[in-house]
Amino acid sequence: MTVANESAAPLPPVRLPDDDAALDVRGLRMRYGTTDVLKGVDFTTRRGEVVALLGPNGAGKTTTIEVLEGFRMRSGGDVQVLGTDPAHGDESWRARLGVVLQSWRDHSKWRVRELLAHLGTYYAPYSTAQITRPWDIDELIATVGLTEHANKRAGQLSGGQRRRLDVAIGIVGRPELLFLDEPTVGFDPQARREFHDLVHRLADDNTSILLTTHDLDEAEKLADRILILAGGRIVADGSADELSRQVAAESEVKWTRDGQRYVHSAADATRFVRDLFAQHGDEITELEVRRATLEDTYMAMVRAHESGHGEDAALPFSAEEVNR
């Protein structure tokens, strides 16, 4: 598998009209001392769009998010969040944002319903004709699956329940733009599925969402678009399918014959399997065909960038048949 030419130099984002753009980032730079963490980040997102920001640890994801949230001053570049430079955002602008941090351990003595009702009062003055803030508290509690725990103190909640409360805190003000940092850490499969449904519901209500996650399966399920940040720049931007097409990938074919397990990489898996059965017929059992996943694509693009070899970067699949 090799990275195609276009993945090495993604096209610059198209500038969207202000009414359509939730985020418009141009040449974002951040320097700590003599170290450049962000070297010219460029991307835009539409209102109501779910975008996943992926990248290896240390790539600058957290720094990027903190700049967009207005919590960190950038070293350079042009950034517009809901039409406002976050470095100069006022309280009415902040009321339009929601933030779900990776870990939140404050307010442990508050009861769930009391805490959310209290936090909601901060948003009420910023209601507009288009958006009524905050959520109805009981509806919000039901939405995040905490109805049975509404009168518990936050400190009494399990890890997964506490994470649901974190999400409720982030969306209590009905944000137009929601930042999610590893939102389903600690969730069991059922809670994760319910949270995914909530994200889709928020997007359907025209909430823009920017999330970071190390769960690539989650990113593929949730995101309309995926951004890959590596080396201080966005090195890929597109849907999971679009990114996969930027990687010239061979399919991995596995089968068993005469008790031996075989693996082969094939550019045309259908043709290879047809020829395989023509040659060996019913001797072939346990046939599997595995095409490139988002994880394969992600690893290919990150390795290609880190190696500096672009399309010649070494990638996971061997082109030779091997016995296992």
Tell me, yes or no, whether 205 and 57 share the same domain: yes
Out of 200, 223, 243, pick the residue that ends a domain.
243
- At 308 the pLDDT is 62
- At 275 the pLDDT is 93
Out of 221, 243, 265, pick the residue that ends a domain.
243
What stretches of the chain show up as alpha helix (H) in DSSP? 5-8, 61-69, 91-94, 112-120, 137-143, 159-171, 189-204, 216-222, 240-245, 269-280, 294-307
Q: Is the dihedral of CA 119, 211, 79, 128 positive or negative?
A: negative
Tell me, yes or no, whether 274 and 239 share the same domain: no
Residues in the chain: 324
223 pLDDT exceeds 90? yes
- At 105 the pLDDT is 64
Q: How many domains does the chain have?
A: 2
- At 217 the pLDDT is 87
In terms of residue numbers, what domain contains 232? 2-243
CA-based nearest residue to 93, from 121, 128, 63: 128
- At 191 the pLDDT is 77
Q: How confident is the model at residue 133 (pLDDT cuts 50, 70, 90)?
A: confident
38 pLDDT exceeds 70? yes
Tell me, yes or no, whether 167 and 123 share the same domain: yes
Tell me, yes or no, whether 159 and 17 share the same domain: yes
Q: Are 176 and 22 in contact (CB under 8 A)?
A: yes
195 pLDDT exceeds 60? yes
Tell me, yes or no, whether 174 and 99 share the same domain: yes
Say how many C-beta atoms besides its own lie within 10 A of residue 269's C-beta.
Answer: 17
Tell me, yes or no, whether 195 and 110 share the same domain: yes
Distance CA 158, CA 7 (A): 43
pLDDT in tens, 82-131: 999 999 999 999 999 999 876 666 778 999 999 999 999 999 888 876 77
Single pTM value for the model: 0.76
Strand partners, 209: 50, 178
Tell me, yes or no, whether 185 and 256 share the same domain: no
Pairing state of beta strands 247-248 and 2-3? antiparallel
**What six digits make up the tokens of 220?**
């593929």
Out of 243, 269, 289, pick the residue that ends a domain.
243
Distance CA 67, CA 201 (A): 27
Pairing state of beta strands 177-181 and 208-212? parallel
Give the CATH number of the domain where residue 77 resides.
Answer: 3.40.50.300
From residue 33, how far is each of 45, 71, 247, 315 by CA, in Å?
30, 18, 36, 34
Q: Are 253 and 317 in contact (CB under 8 A)?
A: no
Out of 24-38, 89-103, 241-255, the most confident range is 24-38
pLDDT in tens, 260-282: 999 988 878 889 999 999 999 99
Tell me, yes or no, whether 58 and 119 share the same domain: yes
Distance CA 53, CA 180 (A): 10
From residue 290, how far is each of 105, 244, 247, 265, 277 by CA, in Å?
42, 14, 15, 10, 17
Q: Are 107 and 157 in contact (CB under 8 A)?
A: no
Tell me, yes or no, whether 85 and 201 share the same domain: yes
Distance CA 269, CA 148 (A): 51
CA-based nearest residue to 214, from 201, 234, 228: 228
Tell me, yes or no, whether 270 and 129 share the same domain: no
Tell me, yes or no, whether 15 and 141 share the same domain: yes
Q: Is the dihedral of CA 171, 172, 176, 177 positive or negative?
A: negative
Q: How confident is the model at residue 145 (pLDDT cuts 50, 70, 90)?
A: confident
Tell me, yes or no, whether 70 and 183 share the same domain: yes
